[in-house]
Amino acid sequence: MLNYCGIGKDFIDYTVDCNPYKQGLFLPVTHIFIFEPDEIRETKPDYVLILLWNLKEEIMEQMAFIGEWGGQF
């Protein structure tokens, strides 16, 4: 979806993934870096874009802490 829409590093600073085999790598084509989820706590983004729509509820529960600084999904 990111590739199709032309979304790259100019719009998304980084991605996160719970899978340790993906952390430290880059998304194909866009070359957006993949961090571990703790990066969200450290950088406190204003918005978190959930790309895994089918896991939206689970991710929102796990990341509910972003509301502490006014972050939104």
3 state DSSP class of 14 = coil
CB 71 within 8 A of CB 44: yes
CB 14 within 8 A of CB 33: yes
Return the ∠ at Cα 35 (arms to 54 and 52), rounded to 5°. 10
The pTM score is 0.88
The series of mean pLDDT values per 10 residues for the chain, 73 residues long, is 92 96 96 97 96 95 96 97
The full DSSP string for 49-64 is ----GGGHHHHHHHTG
Class of the CATH domain delimited by 2-69: alpha beta
